[in-house]
Chains A and B, each alone.
Chain A
Amino acid sequence: QKEVEQNSGPLSVPEGAIASLNCTYSDRGSQSFFWYRQYSGKSPELIMSIYSNGDKEDGRFTAQLNKASQYVSLLIRDSQPSDSATYLCAPQTGTASKLTFGTGTRLQVTL
């Protein structure tokens, strides 16, 4: 069983729609959770951090965390073509704050 599972996609959504990206993790010791966006050939860019159960909103992005279910998600409202990228889920564990990455979900926003 993979430590961090994401649907590889591609997830295709029309412009203006809501994109829903999901992630499950196996390490119950994970305390903090991060979503990174990675454009092709570029390095990951941090877009959301979430530290406690519930929802966290930042602009068009909403992260949702359910530690009991070991599930974290990212919603992107009013999806734009510029949102087309791979989204990486990364739980963090331990005192060294090590991140474990999923393989990412590729999002395609169509016109």
Chain B
Amino acid sequence: DGGITQSPKYLFRKEGQNVTLSCEQNLNHDAMYWYRQDPGQGLRLIYYSQIVNDFQKGDIAEGYSVSREKKESFPLTVTSAQKNPTAFYLCASRVGTASYNEQFFGPGTRLTVL
């Protein structure tokens, strides 16, 4: 059963804690992305990775970190430096060529800071 999985579905964090959100795909996609969605706003890009062991900052990378040690996995750590981490976090992977490609999303993780 191919797809993108994210865990956990809901996550609660105390202020000052680091938390790691999991994103796994078995689609053999090279590129993976992390977005954040706040109520009433569009998705904003946090980090992306086009290949294993390489990743780039997106538009709102401050307070976040990622790793890409395996093609299948692209975990996102929300650090205590992230001022307002409560949001819906979405992981995506990309299929296709440089000119013609599509991104598909996992089910998301909803993070709440208590």
Contact = CB atoms under 8 A, between A and B. Distances in A.
Interface in A52-111: 88, 90, 92, 95-104
A98 B42 CA distance: 14
B108 interface: yes
A43 B44 CA distance: 14
B53 interface: no
Interface string A23-67: 000000001101010000011111001010000000000000000
B58 A97 contact: no
Contact of A96 (B41, B43, B56): B56
Interface residues of A, number: 26
Interface string B83-112: 000000010001000111111111110000
B110 to A, nearest CB: 8
Chain B interface main SS type: strand
Most buried by A among B43, B56, B94, B108: B43
Contacts of A97: 31, 94, 98, 101, 103
A49 B102 contact: yes
Contacts of B42: 4, 88, 100-104
Contacts of B50: 96
Contacts of A44: 43, 90, 105
A66 to B, nearest CB: 19
Contacts of B90: 43-44
A62 B102 CA distance: 17
A98 B58 CA distance: 9
B40 interface: yes
Which 5 residue pairs spanning A and B have beta carbons closest together?
A101-B42, A101-B43, A43-B105, A43-B108, A103-B42
Given A36-B105, A51-B100, 4 more contacts: A34-B102, A44-B43, A95-B98, A98-B58
